[in-house]
Structure 1
Amino acid sequence: MYDLIIIGAGTAGINAYKQAVRDTQNILIINDGPWDTTCARVGCMPSKVLISTANRLHDAKTANAVGLDIELNADTSKVMSHVRQLRDRFTAATLKDVENWPAKHKVSGKAHFVDANTIEVNGQSYQARSFILAVGSTPNYDQQWKKQLGDRLITTDQIFELPQLPERIAVIGSGVIAIELAQALHRLGVQVSIFARSKKVGSLSSPQLQGLAQHILTKELDIRFETLPYQVQRKDQQVQLSFKDAQNKPQDLLVDYLLVATGRHSLLESLKLYQIDSRFKDIKDLPIDSKTKQLGQLPIFVAGDAYTNTPIQHEAAHEGKKLVDNCLNYPQIQAVKTLTPLAIVFCSPEMASVGRNYQQLKQDKTDFVTGFVSFEKQGRALVLGKNQGAVEIYVDRQSEKILGAELFVHQAEHFAHLLNWMITEQVTLTDCLDKPFYHPTMEEGLRTALKHARHQLHP
């Protein structure tokens, strides 16, 4: 019997293995498919290569904002080759690391549970005192649409394999993945049409910032809010989408591909957890503790995006490491969801959420004030020709500690880290304003928001 079996070798599983092998060699990690991460292969890394190239081209084409006149065109076959070359470099580093693990620690194949202590892989049974389930997730898409469209329906699992970008593409979804990819494709010259179930873009919960994001992004992107195709058909090497416009009139749209970017769903179902307990039949209703990630009262723990509402790489890595202690010290367990929330969307302007967002604070009836700053007239933003968007910082009215923030602004990825660390250290409004803000920088905008919050607390 093994001390620990890890199922899944993505970010969470790999980090769990690296942590566990320090304390025990009586360990097994099982993986179905490539021994690298979703992030490196089809997620954050190839998408950011595509986005970076697209933004570089966009900056050149809009250089008149800083007094330049530049004409450029993109050879998208070279762009996609560049995306894959860098993607392969990232995955190769992970694969090389895994190759150095002892062969006796690794099994390739699809695992499922027989009972609470036993799994089966490739017809062979293995037992363990504890388990970490890090099987990850897979893109959502309509199975019937896939049957009708074949290779004309793609997800993030296929888009980076295209030899070159198409002329026209339709995107289903307006969430994080959809907006990132749709804007990048548009900036690289693809005619993009977005169909969104709701009237929301990205991840912002603040009504003011969400409205601002919709206003700015719809100037650049063709987004049909609260509209989904009611029929899709394959027409040779194209896709015809039928939908109703704002006046409820039927319309058809012909595109080269349909990109479905409506999130991902867990692969926990493949583990046949119901063979442990019939109550585990519905994976959407599993008794998993949100803080310890324990399944029921069993020595079974779930890591990463196999079961989370924050499918973020650094959280998956953190959970994988921390869950090893719960497994090896069972029944003594502790919380593993300990990081201050941090989420970034790499659209342009970038979106970010730090700590508790606006919606969470309102739902909790927290007494807070909002420090606001627009970057339309902010000095450094004007210099850069990036004077769009705004930031909200949420401050507790009693303790004056920073509770959270939402951002829709150029360089939000950097601001978000600063604010995240402030929240983690539980600093107050006064502490933040006592820090230096160099002139002229984008960070001065944060000071403006903090001063706006202080004025509300001390008129």
Structure 2
Amino acid sequence: MYDIIIIGAGTAGIAAYKEAIKHTQNILIINDGPWDTTCARVGCMPSKVLISTANRMHDIEQADEVALKVTSQIDTRDVMPHVRKLRDRFTAATLKDVNSWKPEHKISGKAVFVSPDTVSVNDQHYQAKSFILAVGSTPALNTDWKNELKDRLISSDQVFELDQLPDSMAVIGSGVIAIELAQAMQRLGVKTTIFARSRKVGILTSPFLQELAQTELSKEMDIKFEVLPESVSLKDDTVEISYTENGIQQKIYTDYVLSATGRISNLSSLHLDHISESFTDLKQLPVDPFTKQLGSFPVFVIGDAHTAKPLQHEAAHDGRQIIRNCLNYPDVQKLPVLTGLGIVFSEPEMAIAGKSHKQLIQENISFVTGFVSYERQGRAIVLGKNKGAIEVYVEQKTRKLLGAELLIESAEHLAHLLSWMISENLSIDSILEKPFYHPTLEEGLRTALKHARRQLDA
């Protein structure tokens, strides 16, 4: 019997294995499919390569914003091969690490539970004192559409395998993945249409910033808010999409449809009902959000398989932290919680640090909002990126920074600073004593903090 069996070798599973071998050699990790991560193979990394290329092309085309006149032509034929080349470089690093593990510690195959302490893989049974389920998730796809459109309906797992950039693409969804890929495709010359179920883009929960994000992105992309396709069909190699907009029945024709409507857990493949007959509805699984324990069993679910925050750094953190609960069961403790940090690599970038506007309202916390627009922010004007705004949320009673939402150039960097400040429980007064170099985008953050302080002092 093993001390721990880990099922899944993505970010969470790999992190768990690396931590587990510090405490015991009596472990096994089972993986069905490639021994690399969603992030490296089909997620964070290849998408950022595509976005980086797209943004460079956009900057060239918009060079007049910094007084340059450009007459050169841009050839995009090597874009997709470049994406795959760098993707393969990132996955190779992960695979090199995995290949260095002891062979007796890993098995390739599909694991299913046959009892609470036993799984079957390749017709062999393996027992463990505790289990870590890190099987990840899969993009959701409409099966009827897939049957109709075949290889013309793709997910974010498949988009990077396109040999060349298509002439046109329809994107279903307006969340993080949808917005990032749609904007990149549009900037690379792909005529892109977004069908959005709601009037929301990305992750922002501030009513003002959300509306501002919709306005800014709509200047560049055709976003059909609160409009979804009513039917799709394949005409030769072209997709016909029928929909109703403003009460008028319309059709568009596109090369591909990219479905980015969310991801579904891979837990369904494990036969969890063999642990308990009550574990049949994945949406109702009794997974403790703080300990990651499944019911009262020595089974722990981490990573994208069951989380409200499907983020790479959260998965790695949980993978490292969960080992203590596995080895000390039934003495199960809450895992340390990371300060909130979410980023959308659009332009302007979106980010949330700490608690969001929506969370603060839901938790009935009294706070003031410090605001700054970046339309007239000095450094942003110099860069030709003077769009968007920042909101910072400061608790009235303690004067501590609780959260922030950002829609600006390089929000990814300021969001990290803000998240670290929040994790240190800093007050707005102590933050404003820190240095703010001139001229930088950080100076705008100081303006927002001062705006909040004036409200508190009043």
Is the TM value for this pair above 0.5? yes
Deviation of residue 20 (structure 1)?
0.3
Please list every run of at least 4 consecutive aligned residues from structure 1 whose deviation after the TM superposition is greater than 6 angstroms.
none
Task: Work out the CA distance in 2 between the residues paired with 1:100 and 1:74.
Answer: 42
Q: Which amino acid aligns with 1:143?
A: T
Aligned 1:323-342 pairs, distance under 5 A:
323-342=322-341
Aligned 1:13-412 pairs, distance under 5 A:
13-246=13-246, 248-412=247-411
The residue number in structure 2 matching 1:445 is: 444
Deviation of residue 303 (structure 1)?
0.8
Q: Which amino acid aligns with 1:89?
A: R
Deviation of residue 245 (structure 1)?
1.3
Q: Which amino acid aligns with 2:314?
A: E
Identity of aligned residues (%): 63
Task: Work out the CA distance in 2 between the residues paired with 1:311 and 1:344.
Answer: 12
Deviation of residue 337 (structure 1)?
5.0
Deviation of residue 76 (structure 1)?
2.9
Task: Work out the CA distance in 2 between the residues paired with 1:280 and 1:108.
Answer: 25
Indicate the SS of the match to 2:351. Answer: strand
CA contact (8 A) 1:74 1:188 kept: no
Deviation of residue 330 (structure 1)?
1.1
Deviation of residue 13 (structure 1)?
0.2
Deviation of residue 238 (structure 1)?
1.1
Q: Which amino acid aligns with 2:380?
A: A
CA contact (8 A) 1:60 1:71 kept: no
Q: Which amino acid aligns with 1:430?
A: D
**Larger CA deviation: 328-337 vs 276-285:** 328-337
Deviation of residue 75 (structure 1)?
3.0
Task: Work out the CA distance in 1 between the residues paired with 2:19 and 2:286.
Answer: 26
Indicate the SS of the match to 2:151. Answer: helix
Task: Work out the CA distance in 2 between the residues paired with 1:429 and 1:296.
Answer: 41
Deviation of residue 91 (structure 1)?
0.1
Unmatched segments (≥5 aa) in structure 1? none
Does the C-alpha gap of structure 1 residues 78 and 255 become closer, same or farther in structure 2, counting only changes over 3 Å?
same
Q: Which amino acid aligns with 1:333?
A: V
Task: Work out the CA distance in 1 between the residues paired with 2:313 and 2:145.
Answer: 34
Q: Which amino acid aligns with 2:268?
A: E
Q: Which amino acid aligns with 1:186?
A: Q
Deviation of residue 270 (structure 1)?
0.5
Deviation of residue 73 (structure 1)?
3.9
Q: Which amino acid aligns with 1:162?
A: L
Report the aligned-residue RMSD. 0.7
CA contact (8 A) 1:375 1:445 kept: yes
Deviation of residue 432 (structure 1)?
0.4
Task: Work out the CA distance in 1 between the residues paired with 2:123 and 2:73.
Answer: 54
Deviation of residue 398 (structure 1)?
0.3
CA contact (8 A) 1:401 1:426 kept: yes
| Cα distance per residue 1:78-106 (max 9 Å; x no partner) | 01111000000000000011111111001
Indicate the SS of the match to 1:351. Answer: strand
The residue number in structure 1 matching 2:6 is: 6
Does the C-alpha gap of structure 1 residues 71 and 331 become closer, same or farther in structure 2, counting only changes over 3 Å?
farther
Indicate the SS of the match to 1:294. Answer: coil
Deviation of residue 304 (structure 1)?
0.5
CA contact (8 A) 1:57 1:72 kept: no
Q: Which amino acid aligns with 1:192?
A: T
Q: Which amino acid aligns with 2:225?
A: F
Indicate the SS of the match to 2:439. Answer: coil
TM-score (norm 2): 0.99
Task: Work out the CA distance in 2 between the residues paired with 1:41 and 1:70.
Answer: 35
Deviation of residue 72 (structure 1)?
4.2
Q: How many residues align?
A: 458
Deviation of residue 236 (structure 1)?
1.1
| Cα distance per residue 1:392-434 (max 9 Å; x no partner) | 0000000000101100000100000000000000000001000
TM-score (norm 1): 0.99
Unmatched segments (≥5 aa) in structure 2? none
Does structure 1 residue 430 correspond to structure 2 residue 429? yes
Q: Which amino acid aligns with 1:355?
A: G
Does the C-alpha gap of structure 1 residues 32 and 72 become closer, same or farther in structure 2, counting only changes over 3 Å?
farther
Task: Work out the CA distance in 2 between the residues paired with 1:116 and 1:23.
Answer: 23
| Cα distance per residue 1:262-297 (max 9 Å; x no partner) | 111110011110111111000110000011110011
